Amino acid sequence: MIRMLTLSLVILRLLLPCCVKAQQPGARYHSLEELLESLAGELEEQEEELTAWLEELQLLHENRVNINKAGREELLKIPFINELMAAEILEFREKYGPFFTVYELASIPSINREIAEKLSFFIVAGETGSPGEPDSLFKRKGYHDLMVRGGRTFPTAAGYRRDGDNPPAYQGSPEKIYTRYKYELPGKLQMGFTGDKDPGEPFMRKPARTGFDFCSYHAAIRINDRIPVLVVGDYTARTGQGLVLWQGFALGRTSDVMGASRNQSTITPYTSSDENRFFRGAAATFKMWNGSLNLLVSSRKTDANLAIEEDSTMHFTTLQTSGYHRTCSEISDRKSVRHSVAALFYTVTSSRLKAGFTALAETFGLPMNQGEQLYQKFLFRGKENLNAGIDYRWVTTNVQFYGEAAVSRSGGMAFFQGIEARLHDQMQLSLSCRHFQRNYHATWANAFAVNDKANNETGLFAGLRIFPAAKVTLSACADWYTRPWLVYGTASPSSGSEWMARADLKISRRLSGTIRVRSRVKPAKDHDGNLYVTETGTRDNLRVQASYLLNDRISLQTRAEMSQIRSRDRENGIMISQNLTWTPAKGPLSANLRFSWFRTDSYDTRIYTFENDVLYAFSSLSFYGEGIRSYINIRGNLTRNTCVWFKIANSCYFDRDKISSGHQEIGNNSKTEVKIEFRYRF
């Protein structure tokens, strides 16, 4: 690790240009794409939820919140704003009047200039709109938003080809097709439809001639101030600290040192293409008794692995979450079990205290039996489950306390407690502890933990952020955890840890740099003679990045990332990437491109990377072996209301003659992905 840190300083110096010919004021993030890539770079391994979160940010950017009109709840929907910040924004506004610019937020003690810069993509100050919002006519009369996307990978994988007299394993074509329509009258009405077909899934083919494999729809209306939300169709719900109910994205343990706290209690229309973490039914929010009462019901069929008992009764072993329905086996699991949910959560808020109660009941159409392995002994079994929880948040001048306690029908309990404090104008501290019993069961949990299902884990997290100078931000955090019972991949109760340290530097008006080191100690099952034992392995990651603005149209970003596994054998990996973003002040075209080279000793030292993509399509990929990855992503404004995106990407490997295996095998050392997307707003 010391050698990696020393090497990082050398690489950062090499990545920075030797001279800059001109100086002009420049921000750390010159476009929303750069900000999203920076955020995703900390979360690349949370691939399943990352896309939905980035889509939320993109939508929020297009409908920015007016900081002078937003209340407490609306402020908390904005990323990077917690309860302490929201309270100080409202206090500042009441004391000094409206904000004239977004960067005035930096005068608030809990918000520095870097956070204000991030917020500038999602909020607007003053009375008027912003360039990211719909036109004023659209805001008065509503607008339609239609988007169509298609994509394909070349050459064709083995699953699409006949094997002698046998038909192809995949029942559909290799194209990915996505469409979304939305009508919105801002603040009053929203309705929409989403259709998605993954590669290999049938689309308008015999014998069924089905359309999109996944269809989602919703209608949401604001009736009045007492019933601000009424949703029919698909929606998501979030409340508390995620021990009972939290759908959608949540920050991981070392992605944001101040990100342990959850701040929302909301019901939101669902517009993503993820086929799992949403409800289908009806939900409403009622303002009463100095608080908000949220009621919801849901019933939909979900994918599951079916099995038959010895007495010929049927059960399912696990819920399928891949969303793929390409082969006969995958299709047989599609919508095989009905999953019904009824829940309520009530939140009351005062100037300093916020308290809530959550209750959730769920039933499955078939009993769940997850197996008889030793690590499965305390997992959920049966058809019915109940959860109840209480949560709170107390905010004072420089400190906020928050937490949640929950129980499931099995009697298992879960606890989470945290504190965030501003020790000084240049220092922030976050501490949290968690204890989840092994028999606590919560299908819809998404907790701040190694196991987001909030069971079989006890842990302690500490994070610190320091602003030693105007152009320097230092962040560090550590997490320690134990598992009192076995989990998949271990032979005994186990423990692990993770820590991260990061330095963000604004070197000049045009140059900025980042150094990040992360280390994970993770338990895993191994052989010791005739016995299975649990041993620990350490994975280290080092990232060094330099971003520089050549002029007001072109920005460059150079990154080197290294990974290392320390166990019985030591393995290494490296990836070096060069990005170029071209955004002219005027003109219909903009583009970004990347060229990367990578080499790793094995799959265990694979390197994750986030890629810019067409609108609302985000790519989080991992690479191992040796090769190069390149892509170009182009946006064109055909008319005032019509845009088109085009992306072509290529992966070429030097250490193999084929890519992947099984049905996904490509008999070549390279593959090319092509995407095109149209959007029309009227």
Say which range, 203-207, 303-307, 467-471, has the weakest mean pLDDT. Answer: 203-207
Q: What is the dihedral of CA 444, 446, 452, 456, to 10 degrees?
A: -60
Residue whose token pair is 């990996």: 573
Phi, psi (deg, nearest 5) at residue 116: -60, -35
Contacts of 339 (CB under 8 A, 6+ apart): 298, 299, 300, 301, 302, 362, 363, 364, 365
Q: What is the pLDDT of residue 131?
A: 41
φ/ψ of 477, rounded to 5, equals -155, 160
Beta-ladder partners of 238: 246, 266
Q: For residues 391 and 88, what is the distance between their CA atoms, to the nearest angstrom?
A: 22
Reported confidence tier of residue 254, pLDDT bands at 50, 70, 90: low
Q: How confident is the model at residue 273 (pLDDT cuts 50, 70, 90)?
A: confident
Token pair belonging to 257: 């040192």
Window from 62-76, 389-403, 628-642 with minimum mean pLDDT: 62-76
Each residue of 401-437: pLDDT tens digit? 999 999 999 999 999 999 999 888 889 999 999 999 9
- Dihedral angle, C-alpha 323, 615, 211, 162, nearest 10 °: -70
Cα four-point dihedral sign 317, 323, 328, 331: positive
pLDDT category of residue 645 using cuts at 50, 70 and 90: very high
Residue with tokens 């409340």: 239
CA nearest 139: which of 147, 148, 124, 128? 128
Q: How much is the average pLDDT of 361-389?
A: 94
Tens of pLDDT, residue by residue over 106-124, are 888 888 777 888 888 888 8
Averaged pLDDT of the chain: 86
> Tell me: the pLDDT tens digits for 11-70?
444 444 333 333 334 456 666 777 777 776 666 555 556 666 777 788 788 888 888 888
The conformational region for residue 431 under phi > 0 = left, psi -120 to 50 = alpha, else beta, is beta
- In this structure, the dihedral spanned by the alpha carbons of residues 269, 274, 276 and 279, taken in order and rounded to 10 degrees, is 10
> Letter for the amino acid at 616?
Y
Give the pLDDT score at 304.
Answer: 94
Sign of CA dihedral 315, 318, 321, 324: negative
Which residue from 6, 7, 15 is spatially nearest to 576, judged by alpha carbons? 15
Q: Locate the domains of the chain by residue range.
A: 142-212, 226-461
Which helix (H) or strand (E) segment holds residue 4: the answer is: helix 2-15
Contact 171, 124 (CB under 8 A): no
Asked if 418 and 261 touch (Cβ cutoff 8 Å), the reply is yes
For residue range 281-305, what is the model confidence (pLDDT) as tens digits? 999 999 988 899 999 999 999 999 9
Q: Does the pLDDT of residue 358 top 50, yes or no? A: yes
When comparing pLDDT for 551 and 362, which is higher? Answer: 362
Task: Report in angstroms the alpha-carbon separations of 366 from 332, 360, 362, 425, 576.
Answer: 15, 19, 12, 55, 50
Q: Strand, coil or helix: what is 506? A: strand
CA distance 626 to 393: 49
**What average pLDDT does this structure show over 174-188?**
92
Give the burial class of 434: count Cβ atoms within 10 A of its Cβ; 0-12 exposed, 13-18 middle, 19 or more buried: buried
Nearest-angstrom CA–CA distance, 47 and 619: 8
pLDDT at 128: 46
Contact (Cβ atoms closer than 8 angstroms) between residue 385 and residue 362: yes
DSSP character for 104?
G
Query: Which two structure tokens, joined as six digits, stand for 284?
Result: 């409403």
Do the beta carbons of residue 175 and residue 160 sit within 8 Å? no
The pLDDT, as a whole number, for residue 46 is 57
Closest among 24, 25, 35 to 116, alpha carbons compared: 35
Q: Which residues pair with 529 in a beta bridge?
A: none
Helices vs strands, H then E, count in the chain: 8, 31
The tokens for 570 are 């030591």
Q: Residue 433 is encoded by which pair of tokens?
A: 């502890």
Burial class, 589, CB count within 10 angstroms (exposed 0-12 / middle 13-18 / buried 19+): exposed
Q: Is the dihedral of CA 110, 390, 443, 375 positive or negative?
A: positive
Which range is most confident: 227-231, 252-256, 369-373?
227-231
pLDDT in tens, 123-180: 888 654 444 444 444 556 788 999 999 999 999 999 999 888 889 999 999 999 999 9
106-138 burial code (b ≥16 CB/10 A, e <16): eebebbbbbbbbbbbbbbbbeeebbeebbeeeb
